[in-house]
């Protein structure tokens, strides 16, 4: 069914733009909605859905290639999934980030091989950039250390949380190489590498269906063919706005569902819910304004002006805070209906905090804005 909806451009090509988002919306209502409880309570990873999302073109819109990167469409597709499940929309963001890293690099060989498979969901994976993103903004040191060897690097270290992984998955990472001058290298790491182990030893309050692992690297060889940037400072500046803007998809889907939850109880509970300070109409207006802002910022993800970067950070901060506020309001509107273990409101509230704590977390965003003011 999906294939006939999504393949409007030609026999084997997925649909683009609004058609693709409509196909993802249709796919999500059929294949993701029934899994939401299993994902939340049993930590189920919706692999078949993740692959179908890729076949529908969901992981390709934002990739810079012959066409300009369409981050706006990628955000809308992610939000269509996020209306049902934040755990899954986060996995989609992980996959989107992985493709973004590859296609924004100069490594053409990698684009043609792994990149093409990531773009369709044939290969899955994620990103270990929380630690580097904190490191580059003066919060903590880099956790991975590398050594230059013939044809590549040997890397060691431990990353506490990397999501959307599996034995045959991949992730983007940054390691520090000591030498005459310190150098930060960004590369793609295959989970199947010798010396790499994945440990699944954490239970989260939500987002347990994200296949999040602690990654231990013990002298893992990373060949030059997997390197995205041998000295990654300017490359990180190139990818950072896209990395942050794409996260809006998680926030927008969640907020839209919280608005729906508030609207749904208007019939039975509107006569008393109207006394609550936060009303769905307020969040709908705020969502509309945020969507327009992200859409405008998405048009120029490689913009180098510091004012642009500052606006991206401000917008991301608002999206995290609005996610928590909307989920909190949905909980108050739904009352006991939302407080039962199968209630959507309590799940959305647990999920919402993730938007505010995933890197760049609210506290990091506030630090970045404070640092920019000096
Ligand atoms: C469900 C989930 C999925 C995540 N997926 C990814 C991912 O795919 N890629 C990625 O790079 N990051 C991932 N993270 C990390 C996330 O982006 C944040 O970095 C993390 O939530 C902490 O951010 P913070 O800025 O609030 O740091 P703080 O909570 O203030 O933490 C400071 C430091 O302590 C570390 N830390 C916190 N708890 C533990 C622990 N139990 N054991 C060891 N170290 C710990 C943090 O990683 C961080 O470096 C994930 C986190 C969660 C909860």
Q: What is the pLDDT of residues 114-139, one digit of tens each?
A: 999 999 999 999 999 999 999 999 99
Q: What is the pTM of this model?
A: 0.95
* Residue 65 CA to ligand 1 centre (angstroms): 32
* Residue 287 CA to ligand 1 centre (angstroms): 27
Burial of 118 (0-12, 13-18, 19+ CB in 10 A): buried
Binning pLDDT at 50, 70 and 90, where does residue 2 land? very low
Residues 314 and 287 in one domain: yes
Residues 164 and 257 in one domain: no
From 358, 364, 365, the mutation candidate for ligand 1 (largest count of ligand atoms within 8 A of CB) is 358
CB 358 less than 6 A from any atom of ligand 1? yes
CB atoms near residue 354 (< 10 Å): 22
| Domain harbouring 56, CATH code | 1.10.540.10
Residues 317-328 have a mean pLDDT of 98
Structural domain total, the chain: 3
From 92, 93, 130, the mutation candidate for ligand 1 (largest count of ligand atoms within 8 A of CB) is 130
The tens digit of pLDDT for each residue in 32-85 reads 999 999 999 999 999 999 999 999 999 999 998 877 899 999 999 999 999 999
Nearest C-alpha neighbor of 216 from the set 191, 189, 196: 196
What is the average pLDDT value for the chain, to the nearest integer?
94
Residues 150 and 160 in one domain: yes
Residues 142 and 87 in one domain: no
Question: Which atom, in ligand 1's list, is nearest to the CA of 206?
Answer: 1
Full residue range of the structural domain in which residue 268 is found: 234-373
Residues 138 and 94 in one domain: no
Of 201, 232, 263, which residue is a domain's last? 232
- Amino acid 268: pLDDT: 96
Write the DSSP symbol of residue 225: G
CB 73 less than 6 A from any atom of ligand 1? no
CB 43 less than 6 A from any atom of ligand 1? no
CB 137 less than 6 A from any atom of ligand 1? no
């Amino acid at each position: 069914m999906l294939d006939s909806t999504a393949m409007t451009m030609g026999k084997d090509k997925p649909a683009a733009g609004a058609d693709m988002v409509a196909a993802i919306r249709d796919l999500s209502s059929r294949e993701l909605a029934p899994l939401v409880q299993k994902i939340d309570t049993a930590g189920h990873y919706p692999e078949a859905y993740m692959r179908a999302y890729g076949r529908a073109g969901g992981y390709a819109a934002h990739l810079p290639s012959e066409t300009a990167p369409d981050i706006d469409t990628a955000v809308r597709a992610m939000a269509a999934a996020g209306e049902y499940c934040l755990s899954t929309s986060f996995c989609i963001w992980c996959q989107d980030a992985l493709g973004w890293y590859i296609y924004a690099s100069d490594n053409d060989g990698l684009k043609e091989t792994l990149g093409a498979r990531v773009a369709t969901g044939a290969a899955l994976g994620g990103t270990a950039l929380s630690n580097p993103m904190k490191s580059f903004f003066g919060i903590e040191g880099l956790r991975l250390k590398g050594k230059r060897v013939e044809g590549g690097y040997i890397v060691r270290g431990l990353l506490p949380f990397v999501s959307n992984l599996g034995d045959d998955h991949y992730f983007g990472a940054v390691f520090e190489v000591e030498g005459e001058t310190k150098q930060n290298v960004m590369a793609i790491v295959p989970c199947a590498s010798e010396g790499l182990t994945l440990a699944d030893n954490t239970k989260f309050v939500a987002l347990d269906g994200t296949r999040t692992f602690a990654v231990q690297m013990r002298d893992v060889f990373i060949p030059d063919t997997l390197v995205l940037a041998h000295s990654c400072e300017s490359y990180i500046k190139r990818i950072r706005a896209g990395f942050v803007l794409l996260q809006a998809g998680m926030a927008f889907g969640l907020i839209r569902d919280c608005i729906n939850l508030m609207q749904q109880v208007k019939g039975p509970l509107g006569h008393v819910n109207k006394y609550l300070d936060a009303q769905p109409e307020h969040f709908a207006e705020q969502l509309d304004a945020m969507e327009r802002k992200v859409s405008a910022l998405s048009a120029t993800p490689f913009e180098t002006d510091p004012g642009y970067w500052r606006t991206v950070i401000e917008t991301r901060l608002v999206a995290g805070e609005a996610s928590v506020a909307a989920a909190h309001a949905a909980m108050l509107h739904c009352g006991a209906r939302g407080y039962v273990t199968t209630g959507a409101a309590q799940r959305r509230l647990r999920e919402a905090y993730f938007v505010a704590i995933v890197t760049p977390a609210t506290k990091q965003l506030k630090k970045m804005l404070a640092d920019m003011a000096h």
